[in-house]
Amino acid sequence: MLSTLLIVIVFLLVVFVLAQFFLGETLSGQTVTLKKLREEVGNLSAQLSLEREANNALRVNVADLSSSLTGVTTTRDKLQSQLALTEQQLAQASQSATDEKTKLAQLKTLYLATQGKLGAANQRADKAAAQVALLNEQIAAVRQQLAQIAAALKVSEARDKADKATIEALGQKLNIALAQKVQQLSAYRSEFFGELRKVLGDQAGIRIVGDRFIFQSEILFPTGSAKLTPSAKTELQALAKTLLAIAPKIPHNVNWILRVDGHTDAVPIHTAQFPSNWDLSTARAVSVVKYLISQGVPPKRLAATGFSKYHPLVQGSAPADYRQNRRIEFLLTNGTG
């Protein structure tokens, strides 16, 4: 048992010695390593100092470069502004040069056209001068002719005065002759109306007003009609006979006619046969003229006229007024009315 204990102690001593050996080796290695680490730390510290100095130098350089960059940027912006302004000025100058070229071309064209016009104007001026000379010659000839005409005019004026005196004398004679014919016709008209009055008697609706012999329409026509009644034909036969008896007494140089005038009242008429008062008044006058022709009165001695409602004998709207205005008038007058 003691030997065993001894062996254990010896074993423990061996282990302790080995542990010390390995621990010493380990510590020696760590010391070397630590020394190397210290050397490396010193180197790194030196490098760090150098790097710091370099960093500081770089910072200074960066600040300087930033300042320089700012100045360069400012300069660049100024230069760019100047460049843009220069380009704008160049474009304007280019445009101005183009405009000037265009204006120059236009001026050249205008100059050439003006030269052409000037040449044409000179030609026209030469022609005008020739025409003026010709006109002067013509004016001289015209003046000579005017002098001759003036002389002839004086002679003509003298003749004109004599002719005027002759014309005035002829006019006076003509007026006297016309007055005599009017007086003759007035006399035959009075005779005609007088004889007609004797034949027709004093009938209601038949009368003489001034130089006209008047029949009220009711004596000759039905209401709204242009067809003669049987009694109307009897009255017109008497008128035709009287006129034919008087006509041979009127001289052939008196151009007379019996004018038949139709008149209506103011009441408008609108029928298929007579659309207006004009149609009715004219149709009635034509009916009377046609009947007188059938009784032997020469057509060239008759005239039919319609006056519608526009020449009333009396003003007013009473039935008696309308009755007086509805009428046929006979006027013995000269051929011109």
Do the beta carbons of residue 216 and residue 313 sit within 8 Å? no
| pLDDT tier at 33, thresholds 50, 70, 90 | confident
Quick check: 179 pLDDT over 60? no
Distance CA(119)–CA(93), nearest Å, equals 38
Q: What is the pLDDT of residue 3?
A: 81
Q: Write the pLDDT tens digit of every residue in 97-147.
A: 677 778 778 877 877 877 777 777 678 767 767 776 777 777 777 777 777
The residue with tokens 């002839």 is 152
> What's the residue count for the chain?
337
The per-residue DSSP string of 243-285 comes to HHHHGGGS-TTS-EEEEEEEE--SS----SS-SSHHHHHHHHH
pTM beyond 0.85, yes or no: no
User: Region 261-285: what's the mean pLDDT?
Assistant: 96
pLDDT, residue 172, reads 63
Neighbours of 266 (CB within 10 A): 15
pLDDT tens by residue, 46-91? 888 887 887 787 787 777 777 777 877 888 888 788 878 878 887 7
Domains (range + CATH), the chain: 202-334 (3.30.1330.60)
**Cβ atoms of 313 and 209 closer than 8 Å:** yes
For position 65, what pLDDT does the model report?
75
Q: What is the pLDDT of residue 183?
A: 52
